[in-house]
Structure 1
Amino acid sequence: MNASALWLAPTPLLLASASTTRRDLLTGAGLPVETAPARIDERALEAEGGDLTPVELARRLARAKAEEVAARHPGRVVIGADQVLECGGRVFHKPADIAAAHAHLARLQGRTHALNSAVAIRRDGSPEDFVEQDFVETAWLTMRPLDTGAIDAYLRLAGEAVTTSVGAYQLEGLGIHLFERVEGDHSTILGLPLTPLLARLRSMGLLVF
């Protein structure tokens, strides 16, 4: 079945993100997708949120992205998504450079951390009345003990790509070598929980089945 046969809205799903990983997850599920990165200041929104939990922060950022893009694209079904990594009460962001990536991995090695992946769905800037459109799914990942030499070797092989993901790893690539246990849905780990997202789109009458 091609995407146009599966998707019932008159225009493609609009992803409020430039993430190729999230786009690939949606297109892999047979959905027609266009992208429009949200114009928001994530760190400012985080600061304004005060003492939000990592789950609440992920939800706040996903909502802000969806609402900003939906306001610019009336009538479109918009998906906003965000992911917050938390370990030991600390929130980790994307590392600014390789040195920051090394510092992140040094703190995460040998420990279990949470990846909180939030999704918000908007149409005409508002959530639908008949279904809860904002949700968060959490995965738990345990990184194996890594010494400085192992971290250096990983970063040398992975390169600058580590700066594009929270935690300085991409589980679908070389990052898988860093872990001894992964608990959670794979799409949640990649930043867009597909099963609950598809359930909500189905409830909105947007999918054939």
Structure 2
Amino acid sequence: MPALWTPAEKLLLASTSATRLALLVSAGLPVETQAPGVDERAVEAEAARQNLDPVALAARLADEKALAVSRRHPARVVLGADQVLACEGEVFHKPAGRSDAQAQLGRLAGRRHDLHSAGSLAIGGQVVERFSRSAHLAMRPLTEEGIALYLDLAGPEVLRSVGVYQLEGFGVHLFEAVEGDHSTILGLPLLPLLAALRRLGCLAL
């Protein structure tokens, strides 16, 4: 059977995200995963001291994840990825719990926000490719009761999302407009990733 992936070993995803893994598998890529063990809050604090914008912050986080795993597996092609949500200059983080999620959705309701998704490919402890894309989303006005109902319907898994929504599920009810490709919204822009892998000679197609 012809093979799409040319390296001897599978792509190593520096993440335990089931969503990113599913995106890669859907594209026919052989993948293994490993937690990068990066202190994201420390990286974000350093980025704030350097006045990095949200796009640069997403790229920095993707770099750090890819490099952390690449140093442990220097012969492998390692993919790091991250996503930053920004709304009118404010960077949002994953909610600490339901009350935090309710408050966060209240701040996003009736406003536009941006999702900046970035990826880095590392080999031998060095970043060899970087890519990023952004999506722009307009959340419709929501009442406190509406937000509470949404959180009940969506379940606790949405608390693992920085925007407290999964657009492929109940989260679609929150929006008026969405601009951007689906994989970028899910946190891993597939088209620029595949282009980067082709440049590295990792894909036969």
Structure 2 Cα separation of the partners of residues 206 and 191 of structure 1: 22
Structure 1 Cα separation of the partners of residues 127 and 132 of structure 2: 15
Q: Share of identical aligned residues, percent?
A: 59
Give 1:159 shift.
Answer: 1.6
Q: Which residue of the partner structure matches residue 97 of structure 1?
A: 97
Unaligned runs of 5+ in 2: none
Q: TM-score, normalised by structure 2?
A: 0.97
Q: Which residue of the partner structure matches residue 196 of structure 2?
A: 200
The correspondence of residues 42-53 of structure 1 with structure 2, limited to 5 A, is 42-49=40-47, 50=49, 51-53=51-53
Q: Is the contact made by 2:132 and 2:192 (CA closer than 8 Å) also made in structure 1?
A: no
Picking from 151, 157, 163, the partner of 1:155 is 151
Q: Structure 2: which amino acid aligns with 1:139?
A: A
The correspondence of residues 9-158 of structure 1 with structure 2, limited to 5 A, is 9-49=7-47, 50=49, 51-128=51-128, 133-158=129-154
Q: TM-score, normalised by structure 1?
A: 0.95
Structure 2 Cα separation of the partners of residues 20 and 178 of structure 1: 23
Q: Structure 2: which amino acid aligns with 1:19?
A: S
Structure 2 Cα separation of the partners of residues 71 and 93 of structure 1: 27
Unaligned runs of 5+ in 1: none
- Spell out, residue by residue over 1:68-98, the C-alpha distance to the aligned partner (whole angstroms, 9 max, x if none): 0000112000000000000011000110111
Q: Is the contact made by 1:98 and 1:162 (CA closer than 8 Å) also made in structure 2?
A: no
1:6 equivalent in alignment to 2:4: yes
Structure 2 Cα separation of the partners of residues 32 and 66 of structure 1: 17
Q: Structure 1: which amino acid aligns with 2:67?
A: E
Q: 3-state DSSP class of the match of 2:127?
A: coil
Q: Structure 2: which amino acid aligns with 1:187?
A: S
Q: Is the contact made by 2:63 and 2:127 (CA closer than 8 Å) also made in structure 1?
A: no
Q: 3-state DSSP class of the match of 2:96?
A: coil
Q: Is the contact made by 2:66 and 2:127 (CA closer than 8 Å) also made in structure 1?
A: no
Alignment length (residue pairs): 203
Give 1:117 shift.
Answer: 0.2
Q: Structure 1: which amino acid aligns with 2:161?
A: S
Structure 2 Cα separation of the partners of residues 41 and 152 of structure 1: 31
Q: 3-state DSSP class of the match of 1:166?
A: coil
Give 1:127 shift.
Answer: 2.8
Structure 2 Cα separation of the partners of residues 93 and 147 of structure 1: 22
| CA RMSD across the alignment | 1.0
Structure 2 Cα separation of the partners of residues 63 and 109 of structure 1: 31
Q: Is the contact made by 1:81 and 1:118 (CA closer than 8 Å) also made in structure 2?
A: yes
